[in-house]
């Protein structure tokens, strides 16, 4: 929960920056990106409307299954021939946008942790505290490599491993706690049950 409380404002900031000027910077290499995207969207709508018409003809038994399959296949081939280059540009832009969000999030989140010395707003709100030897290097290892990148490159399996370790280990420490020689403790009232 503390992670989400820290991550949501960062994503909000990145989305605002994207809306204000980053999207235009990312579109710069692609000439007339917005106009090409608009034409592409119109072509997609036309493509699906035509497929719907073919399907109605098939349902009303105006055409056979083979004729329907041939018409749809021809339409798909024509669509790809007309829009193949535009699709490549769109996918390239979207890939750059994903990289922007991923890299920016990692950098801002790490700098946020450095600035707060690991005592982030989310941790404070949840009455948690990071203890141990907290340095820029331990935060780099703990927050960037052993959380963000570990979760990303294990496709979320790292999060599941962390939850298992917190639940079933005696000291309730994750792999990143052990490797960075830190831990998260609760600052509120401890109950014996």
Instruction: Judge whether 121 lies within some domain.
Output: no
Give the length of the chain.
193
Euclidean distance between CA atoms 139 and 107, whole angstroms = 12
The total of structural domains in the chain comes to 2
Pair (22, 87) in one structural domain? yes
Residue 16 is part of which domain span? 2-116
Euclidean distance between CA atoms 124 and 67, whole angstroms = 65
| pLDDT for the residue 99 | 95
- Which segment, 95-104, 123-132, 179-188, is predicted with the most confidence on average? 95-104
Instruction: Judge whether 71 lies within some domain.
Output: yes
Pair (35, 85) in one structural domain? yes
pLDDT digits (tens, 9 = 90+) for 70-124: 999 999 999 999 999 999 999 999 999 999 999 999 999 999 999 998 888 888 8
pLDDT digits (tens, 9 = 90+) for 40-76: 999 999 999 999 999 999 999 899 999 999 999 999 9
- pTM of the entire predicted model: 0.77
Euclidean distance between CA atoms 78 and 69, whole angstroms = 14
DSSP result, the chain: -HHHHHHHHHHHHHHHHIIIIIHHHHHTTSTTHHHHHHHHHHHHHHHHHHHHHHHHHHHTTSS-HHHHHHHHHHHHHHHHHHHHHHHHHHHHHHHHHHHHHHHHHHHHHHHHHHHHTT--HHHHHTTEEEEE---HHHHIIIIIIIIIIHHHHTTTHHHHHHHHHHHHSTT---HHHHHHTEEEEE-SPPP--
Pair (42, 105) in one structural domain? yes
């Amino acid at each position: 929960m503390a992670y989400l409380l820290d991550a949501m404002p960062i994503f909000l900031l990145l989305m605002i920056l994207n809306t204000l000027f980053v999207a235009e910077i990312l579109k710069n290499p692609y000439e007339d990106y917005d106009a090409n995207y608009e034409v592409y969207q119109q072509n997609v709508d036309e493509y699906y409307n035509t497929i719907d018409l073919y399907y109605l003809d098939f349902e009303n038994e105006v055409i056979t299954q083979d004729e329907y399959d041939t018409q749809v296949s021809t339409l798909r081939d024509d669509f790809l021939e007309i829009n193949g280059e535009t699709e490549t540009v769109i996918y390239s832009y979207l890939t750059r946008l994903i990289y922007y969000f991923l890299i920016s999030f990692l950098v801002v989140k790490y700098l946020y942790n450095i600035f707060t010395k690991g005592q982030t707003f989310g941790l404070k709100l949840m009455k948690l505290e990071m203890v141990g030897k907290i340095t820029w290097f331990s935060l780099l290892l703990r927050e960037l490599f052993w959380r963000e990148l570990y979760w990303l490159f294990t496709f979320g399996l790292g999060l599941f491993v962390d939850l298992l370790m917190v639940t079933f280990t005696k000291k309730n420490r994750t792999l990143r706690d052990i490797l960075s020689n830190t831990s998260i403790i609760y600052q509120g009232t401890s109950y014996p049950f």
